Amino acid sequence: MDTRNRCIVIRQILILLISIVTAHNVCAQDPTYVHKYGNVLSAKSFLFNDGFTFSNKSTGLNYIPDLHSGIGIGVWWKYFPFDVCYRQEISPIGPDGEYHHVKTTDMQLRGYNRFFAGDIYIQNYNGFYEAIQNRYQIKQPDLVDLPYNPDLSVFQFDMVGKYIFNNEEFSYKAGFTAGERQKVSAGSATAGAALYFLRIKSDSLLVKEQSTDLKSCNLGVNGGYAYNYVFGKHSTLFGSVMVGLNASTSIFHGWVSDKISLSPVFHGKAAYWLNYDKWSFGITATYNLIHHTLDDAMTVYVHTRRTEIVVIRRFWLKKNG
């Protein structure tokens, strides 16, 4: 599949996802369990920290980019399924410019309604440190002592959708984005499907003694459970766990390999919200673990993490909305 056709397929998938997310917005939930804010517009500011690493299963090496932290602002309009954010990295640079600082893309689109929860992750990282240890065993000052691969770049596109079974009493939107408020504790089983695409490019000896351009595509199904625990007058604690099984294949020179491998995938989310009529204050966290088979010599595990401290302000109350 060439680049043009791949872009057309991705665009069609995005249109389908938006249609699914917006299809049931007119349906009502049980007001005893879920409170819908009547505000037309919401604005948010946040602090974020992103983590992205991948591990080469055959060599045991971990590839780690710089730490990426910063601030951001965003808006959400009631009649549009996705919230839009702008982020500015303020990642620390070591003394005398010791740290390699490169531009990255780490974007998440979220579309949640009563019946469905959809997430799109678009990530592009350039330049990786190489280590035996994983990210949690390495302190930031120690990164400069590790081998650095400036030519190594990784692009990942993930699209995960799930159906919410207990959609009359449970709100996924209330749990992870504070777009609504859960009034009584409730949970729901979820089930859905996912698409994952990974591309790794390098001119170094990452896999073999030649330049590498490795691609993998995964399709899979998933299932899990999500829960909103309401305590006190304003507090909500959210947790969501999802496991899946993917069919993974490598892509090379525009052709799809005839070798298919099955692999597990894991997605986890958590959040705490302090909600008022016009304000919400919260902490959200996301962790994803995805298995990719790139060729006979390389199987990788991709770990992505995101933590945000969020402040939301709601405007323009529309009581009948």
CB 193 within 8 Å of CB 246: no
- What's phi and psi for 16, nearest 5 deg? -65, -40
pLDDT at res. 209: 42
Q: Is the pTM of this model over 0.75?
A: yes
What are the beta bridge partners of residue 187? Answer: 227
Domains and CATH numbers, the chain: 3-25+34-317 (2.40.128)
| C-alpha span between 53 and 21 (Å, rounded) | 30
End-to-end C-alpha distance for the chain, whole angstroms: 45
Which two structure tokens, joined as six digits, stand for 263? 């692999």
Strand partners, 203: none
- Counting as low any pLDDT under 50, the low residues of the chain are 1-3, 21-26, 94-96, 207-211, 253, 255, 321
Residues 6+ apart with CB under 8 A from 212: 200, 201, 202, 203, 206
Q: Which residue has the tokens 């909500």?
A: 236
Report how far residue 116's alpha carbon sits from residue 212's, in angstroms, rounded to the nearest whole number: 38
C-alpha distance from residue 100 to each of 96, 128, 146, 151 (Å): 11, 9, 12, 12
Q: Given this model, what pLDDT does residue 143 score? A: 67
How far is Cα of residue 47 from the mean position of the Cα atoms in its chain? 16
**Chain-centroid distance, C-alpha 110:** 9
How far is it, in rounded angstroms, from Cα 118 to Cα 13?
Answer: 12
In this prediction, residue 148 carries a pLDDT of: 82
Chain position carrying tokens 């089983």? 189
- Looking at residue 53, its pLDDT comes to 86
* Percentage of the chain lying above the pLDDT 90 cut: 34
Q: How far apart, in whole angstroms, are the C-alpha atoms of residue 269 and residue 300?
A: 22
pLDDT at 151: 84
